[in-house]
Homo-oligomer: A and B are copies of this chain.
Amino acid sequence: MIIVLKSGIGDPEIDAVCRRITEMGYSPHVIRGEFKTVVAAVGEERGRPDLRLLEAMETVESVMPVQQPFKLASREVRAEPSEVRVSGVVVGGPAVVVMAGPCSVESQPQMLEVADAVKGAGARILRGGAYKPRTSPYAFQGLKEQGLEYLSEARKRTGLPFVTEVLETESVELVAEHADMLQVGARNVQNFTLLRRVGETGKPVLLKRGMATSIQEFLLSAEYILSAGNPHVILCERGIRTFETTTRFTLDLNAVPVLKKLSHLPVVVDPSHGTGHWDLVAPMAKAAVACGADGLIIEVHPRPEQALSDGPQSLKPSKFTQLMRELGPVAEAVGRSL
């Protein structure tokens, strides 16, 4: 950490800051500039008090971190990319993995119809929401356990593993019994109890970035799962909140190469939630693959205008099939396969 002192601070105050740094377990190094004095505090930070506390001292102007606060998620601990296996499907390897299915599981026929369609088009993992986080208490909240059963049926029929969201700690066990991968949704990215709990299951976890989560916070959320002993974490960019309103969120594809630079974890992209409009899904899906995403998660519904949630951003099976056809060449153009 670099501790920047206020202008005009004299030696006794500099000594006081150094003393406090030493008490906290670090070695202080004073550097005097023409206008500003800074103190570098050297030492392992994890397990010691947080030096940012020094901002509470009236002589300190600011404290600037030098190290990233995450460890297990970082490239510095593991240089080569990680692969996560979801019941046999490898995410983070040479192939770009497409996960697809309805936003909500609505009925057995709906789930099976979509599952057949997305399998036929080349999807490798099914998705479908049984427990739904809804902004309004008056909206459809999901079929819950029944939904898990329809997903299991769809898996049996198609041979594809499935990912589904787990909303709360109480249902982690139940969902983990059924699902091949647990999804932690954007609204739960800093639900630290839930992160620890899904970490303890040892199951693959698809961790979605929150709508106001910085990259650093996102990797710290992954760190919660990793530090619970579960290395099977896949990061998912799904749109952040900005001033722009023509899209539901602003899908931040920059996050893909940034996450790849800072972390060894696989990164997938959700262009359906990220844009909120079905006609933007295809171009943004291609862009995601072009900038290095390891996978995509896409909403598909046979009759979007009757969907119980997120119809406006769902692709019809025919459009999804066309997208899969178009994605192949893009994947190849960047040295991957679909």
Which positions in A face B, CB cutoff 8 Å? 2, 4, 7, 20, 29, 31-36, 38, 40, 42-44, 46-47, 50, 52-57, 64, 66-67, 69-70, 76, 133-139, 167-170, 187-188, 190-194, 196, 210-212, 214-217, 220, 223-224, 227, 240-247, 250-258, 261-262, 274-275, 277-280, 283-284, 286-292, 304-307, 311-312, 314, 326, 329-330, 332-334
Contacts and interface: CB of A to CB of B under 8 A. Distances in A.
Given A280-B254, A287-B287, A311-B55, A66 B36 contact: yes
Contacts of A190: 133, 135, 187
B137 A220 contact: yes
A334 B327 CA distance: 9
A139 B169 contact: no
Contact of A34 (B32, B42, B47, B69): B42
User: Ordered nearest first, which 10 A-B pairs have the shortest CB separation?
Assistant: A212-B212, A55-B312, A290-B290, A56-B304, A329-B333, A287-B291, A287-B287, A56-B311, A283-B291, A187-B190
How many copies make up the complex? 4
Contact of A224 (B137, B220, B274, B311): B137
A38 B66 contact: yes
A196 B170 CA distance: 14
7 contacts: A53-B306, A55-B277, A134-B192, A170-B193, A211-B212, A241-B241, A332-B333
Contacts of A255: 244
B290 A35 contact: no
B216 A246 contact: yes
Main secondary structure, interface of A, reads mixed
Contacts of A52: 312
Contacts of A42: 31-34
A6 B7 CA distance: 30
Given A53-B305, A192-B134, A330-B333, A247 B243 contact: no
Given A210-B212, A212-B241, A254-B275, A33 B66 contact: yes
A18 B36 CA distance: 20
A292 B20 CA distance: 34
A76 B36 CA distance: 11
A283 B287 CA distance: 9
Contacts of A67: 33, 35-36
Contact of A2 (B38, B169, B287, B289): B38
B191 A191 contact: yes
Contacts of A210: 212
A131 to B, nearest CB: 9
A253 B262 CA distance: 22
A153 B321 CA distance: 51
Contact of A168 (B137, B169, B212, B214): B169
B252 A56 contact: no
B2 A64 contact: yes
A215 to B, nearest CB: 5
Contacts of A330: 290, 330, 333-334
